[in-house]
């Protein structure tokens, strides 16, 4: 059955006016949310998620405690108003558990858990709005929330979804495109070039996989720049707030030249 929506027209434009390899607008808000140690609200187009990180803190269950590293716990909830289905998903919903498991396996090799033995790092993700690329948005928001919480990472994790329409590869798919096209979500570590996740929920011909995989890795570099810029801006704001506090002139606080430099790789 053919799609009611034209995925890619003769001019090479998609249903939302983007070109094949064009990414949706990305918006990041790193303002503090409640008692979380780190939080991030991220949007890819109309898809919006909020990630909150608590910890490292004492594990709730002794059975979940590891003597040589921290445990990563991921819980994901999807707001019933986030999609046109108006279907309420419980925490034990199969789709929700699959997404949480994918996010956990993505970050376990990246978070330096060996620095926090016998502790637990809790990641809570709330899906506010969905329009394709849900897993990529959750992963990107989690990266930013972990960075805001000050948890050491080996590298950023940047995720992008790619699909193929006929013989044309496309990046950052919307819901309409995901419903009609085979696609793959790839999460890369841009500094090292390593891949920490590659998952497909549909069948994709092997001849097309290599091209989409390469394009997704290249797009990860673009998302990496956006994430770095957001973190730099937040750091500058925090640094300005610290410097604006009144310090007595006789304090042994060192010279201005000794101010620490912050760098995100």
Residue 147 is predicted with a pLDDT of 97
Look at residue 17 and tell me if it is in a domain: no
pTM for the predicted model, two decimal places: 0.88
Spatial CB neighbours of 207, under 8 Å, sequence gap ≥ 6: none
- Provide the domain limits for residue 136: 26-242
* 8 A C-beta contact, residue 175 and residue 24: no
Residue 91 is predicted with a pLDDT of 61
Residue 262 is predicted with a pLDDT of 43
Look at residue 265 and tell me if it is in a domain: no
Residue 249 is predicted with a pLDDT of 53
Q: Is 154 exposed, middle or buried (0-12, 13-18, 19+ CB in 10 A)?
A: middle
CATH number at residue 140: 3.30.230.70
Look at residue 232 and tell me if it is in a domain: yes
Distance CA 260, CA 85 (A): 50
Look at residue 8 and tell me if it is in a domain: no
Residue 256 is predicted with a pLDDT of 47
Residue with the two structure tokens 């730099």: 232
**What is the total count of domains within the chain?**
1
Residue 204 is predicted with a pLDDT of 84
Residue 86 is predicted with a pLDDT of 56
Beta-ladder partners of 21: none
CA atoms within 13 A on the CB side of 169: 19
Distance CA 36, CA 231 (A): 17
CA distances from 125 to 44, 54, 75, 156, 261 (A): 15, 12, 6, 18, 31
CA distances from 245 to 32, 224, 239, 241, 254 (A): 20, 32, 10, 7, 15
Supply angle C-alpha 127, 132, 136, rounded to 5: 70
The SS3 of residue 262 is coil
Look at residue 156 and tell me if it is in a domain: yes
Look at residue 16 and tell me if it is in a domain: no
> pLDDT per position in the chain (265 positions), as tens?
444 678 888 888 998 999 999 999 999 999 988 899 999 999 999 999 999 999 999 988 777 788 999 999 999 999 988 776 656 666 678 999 999 999 999 999 999 999 999 999 999 999 999 999 999 999 999 999 999 999 999 999 999 999 998 888 999 999 999 999 999 999 999 999 999 999 998 888 888 899 999 999 999 999 999 999 999 999 999 999 999 885 555 555 445 454 444 444 4
Beta-ladder partners of 39: 52
Look at residue 256 and tell me if it is in a domain: no
Look at residue 253 and tell me if it is in a domain: no
Spatial CB neighbours of 164, under 8 Å, sequence gap ≥ 6: 170, 181, 182, 183, 204, 205, 208, 212
């Amino acid at each position: 059955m053919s799609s009611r929506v034209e995925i890619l027209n003769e001019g090479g434009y998609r249903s939302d006016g983007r070109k094949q390899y064009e990414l949706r607008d990305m918006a990041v808000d790193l303002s503090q949310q409640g008692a979380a140690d780190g939080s991030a609200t991220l949007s890819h187009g109309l898809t919006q998620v909020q990630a909150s990180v608590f910890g490292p803190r004492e594990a709730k269950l002794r059975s979940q405690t590891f003597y040589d590293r921290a445990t990563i716990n991921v819980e994901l909830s999807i707001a019933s108003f986030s999609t046109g289905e108006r279907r309420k998903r419980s925490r034990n919903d199969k789709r929700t558990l699959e997404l949480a498991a994918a996010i956990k396996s993505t970050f376990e090799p990246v978070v330096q858990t060996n620095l926090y033995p016998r502790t637990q790092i809790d990641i809570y993700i709330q899906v506010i709005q969905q329009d394709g690329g849900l897993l990529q948005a959750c992963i990107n928001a989690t990266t930013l929330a972990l960075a805001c919480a000050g948890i050491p990472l080996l590298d950023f994790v940047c995720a992008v979804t790619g699909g193929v329409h006929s013989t044309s590869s496309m990046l950052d798919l919307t819901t309409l495109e995901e419903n009609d096209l085979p696609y793959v979500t790839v999460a890369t570590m841009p500094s090292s070039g390593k891949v920490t996740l590659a998952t497909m929920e549909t069948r994709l011909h092997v001849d097309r996989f290599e091209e989409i995989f390469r394009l997704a890795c290249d797009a990860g570099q673009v998302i990496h720049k956006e994430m770095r810029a957001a973190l730099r801006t937040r750091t500058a704001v925090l640094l300005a707030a610290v410097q604006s506090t009144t310090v007595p002139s006789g304090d042994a606080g060192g010279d201005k030249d000794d101010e620490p430099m912050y760098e995100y790789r």
